[in-house]
Amino acid sequence: MHTLRLQCQRLNLYQSASHLLEKYVKTSISACRSNLTTKSPNLDDTEQFKAAVLHPKKTNLSIETLVLPETAADGMVRVGIDYCAINNHDVRCIYEDISTVTLPFIPGSEFSGEILEIGPSCKGKFKIGDKVAVLGDKHIGGGVSHQCFVPETECIHIDPRVSQKDAATIVQGYSNALLAFTKYAPIKEGDDIIILAGPGGDGLAAIEIAHNIFKANVHVVFASKSIDGLVRDESAFKAINYNVGLTKVYNFFKNTLGSKQFKGVFDTYDSKMLHVVSDFISSNGYFLTTDTFFSPETFEAPYFKKDTGKQKKKKATIEEIEEEENIDWASRVKQVNITKYQIDDREFYEKIVNQAFDLHANEKIDPFVSQVWNMRDINKAVQFVNLKKCLGKVLIDTQRKKT
């Protein structure tokens, strides 16, 4: 029952004009019923709102008008959403790893807005009208919508010095970078590190934190088109584009370092690149990734024979790579995920996120937004990220208050 309730509430799976969506709701809505504890006076049970929905056997999301047949369940709050980030992981859920989500699916796990309703059993940390940032499960989503039910634990108050638009760009990337470089692999001034940066802004956040805050020498492999200058403007010590090919990436680091080695690598894009740079990480160095899809059991990467510099067409498993290259880098990979601490160590979670807000308020970091789209253009926004046309954040302005 908990799983059904969470899916129904967290996914915005309400009654829709779509027969499939309607059928799903009818079969699971009974598991989502709960008594109302606190409710905004301007919220009507029959209020209509819009959301971007992905259906089975479809590649485009459709903007649908949904109705609100229920109230918040235990421990849940309803958030009116103003801005939602579209990240690389959201796009992967839609195109590459659709099996990891429940359809119909509403993407978006990093967003900002205000509390509209509070369900029973909440701990009293929030009140109606509070401005909050939400960081949820990428595989559950719900953010590209006017409203969304989320567990209370996924919300955090927005620093009053930070706008809702900026808040939607800060919580994930900057908090994960602070977590990586303070708890998992502390770095200091002058350390040589590698950051693997993809579209969606998390790579830029890691670069800013590593260089601006910790004064490290940052070398970047990035996976976006025609933005070399932007990466260097964001304090990268040296940078190369992933699209030049694995051989050139490998030789880039080989020629850059000489006899030196990097202290570690922080992957914010695609863990498949970790084995390409593994030769250049010191024996006690670290391998960090924010890739929620990473698993040693299912890992496959472009096969790359380093002694000849040639790339083969087939893919290789971790076992094949380690046997061929006599390395054990995979066993040293650690996943960095700030959401782990939302419940496990709430005080620590709030400390890290609030530190990111404070850095922004004091102009120590400056989140870069590549583009803001209206919700009706969600498919253009998803393609924009999927085609790697951005290194910064891509935001959806839901225009909730204008609808």
pLDDT > 80? residue 107: yes
Residue 263's pLDDT is: 94
Within 8 A by CB and 6+ apart from 184, the residues are 286, 288, 334, 336
- Mean pLDDT, residues 82-98: 85
Q: Omega into 120 within 30° of 0, i.e. cis?
A: no
- Mean pLDDT, residues 118-139: 93
CA distance 388 to 373: 16
- Mean pLDDT, residues 171-181: 97
**pLDDT category of residue 327 using cuts at 50, 70 and 90:** low
pLDDT > 80? residue 318: no
Strand segments (E) across 212-292: 217-222, 238-241, 262-267, 281-289
Nearest to 177 by CA among 360, 386, 301, 369: 360
CA distance 74 to 34: 7
Q: What is the DSSP string of 305-360?
A: ETTTTEEEEEEEEHHHHHHHHT--GGGGEEE--GGGHHHHTHHHHHHHHHHHHHHH
Residue ranges and CATH numbers for the domains of the chain are 2-157+368-402 (3.90.180.10), 171-338 (3.40.50.720)
Q: Is 245 exposed, middle or buried (0-12, 13-18, 19+ CB in 10 A)?
A: middle
* Pair 181, 209: CB distance under 8 Å: yes
Which stretch of 94-108, 124-138, 349-363, 365-379 has the lowest confidence by average pLDDT? 94-108
Residue 306's pLDDT is: 58
Residue 19's pLDDT is: 38
C-alpha pair distances (Å), 112 with each of 37, 80, 174, 355: 23, 8, 15, 17
Instruction: For residue range 293-313, list pLDDT tens digits in order.
Output: 777 666 666 555 555 555 554
Long-range contacts of 327-332 (CB under 8 A, 24+ apart): 327/278, 327/279, 329/274, 329/275, 329/278, 329/281, 329/287, 330/274, 330/275, 330/296, 330/299, 331/296, 332/286, 332/287
Residue 23's pLDDT is: 35
Place of tokens 């459709």: 62
**pLDDT category of residue 5 using cuts at 50, 70 and 90:** very low
CA distance 181 to 169: 19
Residue 312's pLDDT is: 53
Residue 401's pLDDT is: 76
Residue 45's pLDDT is: 44
Query: Can you say how many angstroms the Cα of residue 81 is from the centroid of all Cα atoms in its chain?
Result: 17
The SS3 of residue 149 is: strand
- Check residues 73 and 301 and name the one with the higher pLDDT: 73
User: Which residues, listed in sequence order, are joined to residue 397 by a DSSP beta bridge?
Assistant: 83, 374
Place of tokens 């919508």: 145
Place of tokens 């954040």: 393
Give percent of the chain with pLDDT exceeding 70.
Answer: 76
Q: How many CA atoms lie within 13 A of 338 on its CB side?
A: 32
Q: What is the DSSP letter of 61?
A: -
- Mean pLDDT, residues 20-42: 34
Instruction: For residue range 237-261, list pLDDT tens digits in order.
Output: 688 888 887 788 888 888 877 778 8
Which stretch of 45-59, 157-171, 320-334, 346-360 has the lowest confidence by average pLDDT? 320-334
Query: What are 132's two structure tokens?
Result: 């909050």
Q: What integer best gives the mean pLDDT of the chain?
A: 80
* Pair 179, 209: CB distance under 8 Å: no
Query: What are 109's two structure tokens?
Result: 């796990």
Question: Parallel, antiparallel, or unpaired for β 131-135 and 110-118?
Answer: antiparallel
